[in-house]
Amino acid sequence: MKKAWELEHELRTNAIPLDRRIQSSNWYDSDFQIPYGDDLIRLFWESKVPGSGAPEIPYLSMVQAMGNRGYDVSAAEKLIPQGIELFQAKKIDDLRVVTSQILAALHQAPQDPDNPIHQFEHPSTWEEIVGSIGGISRDPILQDKTNLQTKIYQGWLGQLAGGSFGTAIEGYTGKQIAKVYGEIREYITTPETTNDDVVYELVFLDVYERLGHNLTAQEIGLEWVRQIQFGWSAEWVALRNLNNGIMPPHSGSFQNPFAHWIGAQMRGMVCGMLAPGWPFEAARLAYLDAIVSHEHNGVYGEIYAAVLTSLAFIHTDTKTILKEAAKFLPQKSEYASVVRYCLEMVESNHDPAKVWEIFSTRFEKYNWIHAYPNIAAVIYSLWFGDGDMTETFSLLAKAGLDVDCNAGLAGNVLGILQPVPIKWAGPLGDRLETYIKGKEVLSIRELALKTYKLINS
């Protein structure tokens, strides 16, 4: 019997990208009909990533994700082939039963004592996290606020450019992407800013506008309920929990197989822009946002993304930013161990292709949306991209995985460091599109101005 990660790995490595130069995407709009009941079950047995069309089986990914978190998922794994067979045979009545059995097996899964994750510490509360970080400055570091408004605008531009670049190819391996597109150094198609990353940042800004530094995870979660009708993976579970009255931090941890995935890591940039040159505060804001939908290593991913962004207002070198940001992670956590490993690899090897081959093998058991392989891609691209946005994005295409999230983070950091090149900024115009009612079309300049004003409010 194949393990869940092996089945998902086969699905990923064999998936051939749709050629987005001749095919359109299928993103949600604000009138998107929320799937439930049998429709939701079918969706989770066969899905296509809206921007790229990449295939995925969320129920399979749930089992894989729980295994990555250190649980023995063998009981659930045994049922996966049966579920796939029933789905393909369109036997929905029996499929409901098997789906329920798989979820029950996951909820009852015992710990796997051989999983290396149990060798690490995973502090949960903010106080515990601060105590595990070590000697870092809690005070603002940025003194010169010259051009701060411009840097925030360029940061947003870089994030949206990266997200738009990666949307067309997310969910595939770099090798398969190259077979269809070759080496990518520009937008594949007319860029679209609609994705499921930025919407959570927009909601965070609304809460911050109302409460400032006094915002709470619960208020963020309740604003999700107000504005966001449907999420994916960890955010889907969190919204389900929130709508059932389960508040943070339990909304991020209760029956959430995806709690260590990229969903928090992909949205930490707004916290860094709201605390420019103040990495400690960026980390605190990221923690509050992350526990709505994640726990432990998933939370640390948003902290790292936020601190990377905040430090870009101080340092001018991406390598320095990557290394300094690692100091703000819980030092005995598995996430911190992964970041240190990645930094050691890029620092000791000068061939990007070799490094990514090493990373691909090291993280092959993890889903393409898990935080670990994706932060590896961010570190790899920012290190070898050496401040060049085109080179950085090109490296991310060679890595594959969750390209839009990774390019959004890398692009945000690079945009703060220097103006976004016209080849990436120009096609965006001043238009951000979302699937949130009332926010269908936004001005990027106005979004940046709002962010800037909130820093000084």
The pTM (predicted TM-score) of the whole model is: 0.97
Q: Does position 27 have pLDDT exceeding 70, yes or no?
A: no
Question: 134 pLDDT band (50/70/90 cuts)?
Answer: confident
Domain edges within the chain? 4-118, 127-455
For residues 396 and 380, give the distance between their C-alpha atoms in angstroms, rounded to a whole number: 8
Position of tokens 């506008």? 209
Sequence-distant (6+) residues with CB within 8 A of 138 are 280
Lowest mean pLDDT among 16-30, 118-132, 401-415: 16-30
Q: What is the pLDDT of residue 306?
A: 98
Buried b / exposed e over 320-341, threshold 16 CB at 10 Å, is: ebbbbbbbbbbeebbbbbbbee
Q: What is the pLDDT of residue 19?
A: 85
- Across the chain, what does the average pLDDT equal? 95
Burial class (CB in 10 A: 0-12, 13-18, 19+), 300: buried
Instruction: Fill in the amino acid letter for 389.
Output: M
Task: Please give the backbone phi and psi of residue 120, each rounded to the nearest 5 degrees, phi first.
Answer: -110, 165
For residues 305 and 153, give the distance between their C-alpha atoms in angstroms, rounded to a whole number: 18
For residues 53 and 24, give the distance between their C-alpha atoms in angstroms, rounded to a whole number: 9
Q: What is the pLDDT of residue 416?
A: 98
For residues 42 and 36, give the distance between their C-alpha atoms in angstroms, rounded to a whole number: 10
Question: 26 pLDDT band (50/70/90 cuts)?
Answer: low
DSSP string, 403-417: HHHHHHHHHHHHHHH
Among residues of the chain, what percentage have pLDDT more than 90? Answer: 89
Residue 196 in contact with residue 231, Cβ under 8 Å? Answer: yes
Instruction: Fill in the amino acid letter for 416.
Output: I
pLDDT tens readout for residues 325-365: 999 999 999 999 999 999 999 999 999 999 999 999 999 99
Q: What is the pLDDT of residue 67?
A: 98
Q: Does position 25 have pLDDT exceeding 70, yes or no?
A: no
What's the rounded mean pLDDT across residues 139-144?
83
Task: Please give the backbone phi and psi of residue 241, each rounded to the nearest 5 degrees, phi first.
Answer: -65, -45
Angle at which helices 234-243 and 217-227 pack, to 10 degrees?
A: 90
Q: Does position 233 have pLDDT exceeding 90, yes or no?
A: yes
pLDDT tens readout for residues 180-203: 999 999 999 988 888 888 999 999
Q: What is the pLDDT of residue 415?
A: 98
For the chain, how many residues are written? 457
What's the rounded mean pLDDT across residues 39-51?
94
Question: 22 pLDDT band (50/70/90 cuts)?
Answer: low
Q: What is the pLDDT of residue 29?
A: 67
Position of tokens 């579920």? 83
Architecture per CATH, domain 127-455, reads as Orthogonal Bundle (1.10)
What's the rounded mean pLDDT across residues 369-392?
98
